[in-house]
Amino acid sequence: MEKLYKGIHEFRKAFFKEEEEFFREIAHSQSPAALFITCADSRIDPNLITQSRPGDIFILRNIGNVVPPYDAIKDKNSVAAAIEFSVIKLQVADIIICGNSNCGAVKALYEDDGYFGDAPHLHEWLELARPAADIVSTYYPSYKDSEMFCAVEKENILLQLNNIQTYPFVKERLESGGLFLHGWYYEIGTGRVSVYDPAADRFVDINIKYKS
Ligand SMILES: [Zn+2]
């Protein structure tokens, strides 16, 4: 904890002081351009990898960057609440679903029941990503280890892109052209981000696709 307390002290003393005006301005309201859905993995920092600032992106994180299908969880669905808030109330123009390499959630799909004995919620939650593993074992049965995990991580992004389209208000805005979906894959060890290209049906390095 010491490190975190020290960090807050440092933040107030240096960064905040320099940007005081900016923070005063954004204090009253938010109008983020995008909803950014990603894994809770401690190694992912959405603002860092997109070089964005507080207020730029509405961030929704959970284990495995999962979007439960619209009626999969009835009430108390915090993911649905965040999607409703950002899409309907904040009117974001883009939704990014960002998966990651070396994803613990994907690895956990291959654990046996004993692993989940003391973590029943984790078990239930991960089942929402199970179809991604099923797709890979069906269509790429020869894949093993890191190749298999990587394929499941990417299939999981596509699965969640499909799931978010089961939300009627998302579908409506997608069809009217007021909202756009993006699938990103972030590699922790290289810093590379690739984007799903539906025309090519594969992930393409973002730096090649969108040269600055
Ligand atoms: Zn992850």
**Residue 150 C-alpha to ligand 1 middle, in angstroms?**
11
Residue 59 and residue 160 share a domain: yes
**Residue 122 C-alpha to ligand 1 middle, in angstroms?**
13
| pLDDT in single tens digits along all 212 residues of the chain | 999 999 999 999 999 999 999 999 999 999 999 999 999 999 999 999 999 999 999 999 999 999 999 988 777 789 999 999 999 999 999 999 999 999 999 999 999 999 999 999 999 999 999 999 999 999 999 999 999 999 999 999 999 999 999 999 999 999 999 999 999 999 999 999 999 999 999 999 987 766 65
Residue 43 and residue 13 share a domain: no
Residue 19 and residue 41 share a domain: no
Residue 70 and residue 4 share a domain: no
Residue 72 and residue 51 share a domain: yes
CATH of the domain at 138: 3.40.1050.10
Residue 153 and residue 98 share a domain: yes
Q: Which residues of 56-81 are buried (b: 16+ CB within 10 A; e: fewer)?
A: bbbbbbbbbbbbbbbeeeeeeeebbe
**Residue 102 C-alpha to ligand 1 middle, in angstroms?**
7
Residue 11 and residue 39 share a domain: no
**Residue 180 C-alpha to ligand 1 middle, in angstroms?**
23
Q: What is the pLDDT of residue 209?
A: 65
Residue 195 and residue 175 share a domain: yes
Residue 150 and residue 190 share a domain: yes
What is the sign, positive or negative, of the torsion defined by CA atoms of 76, 80, 84, 85?
positive
**Domain with 169 in it:** 34-209
Residue 49 and residue 11 share a domain: no
**Residue 211 C-alpha to ligand 1 middle, in angstroms?**
27
**Residue 13 C-alpha to ligand 1 middle, in angstroms?**
33
**Residue 9 C-alpha to ligand 1 middle, in angstroms?**
30
Q: Which of 33, 30, 57, 26 is nearest to 44 (CA)?
A: 57
Residue 77 and residue 174 share a domain: yes
3-state secondary structure (DSSP) of residue 92 = coil
Domain count, the chain: 2
Residue 163 and residue 105 share a domain: yes
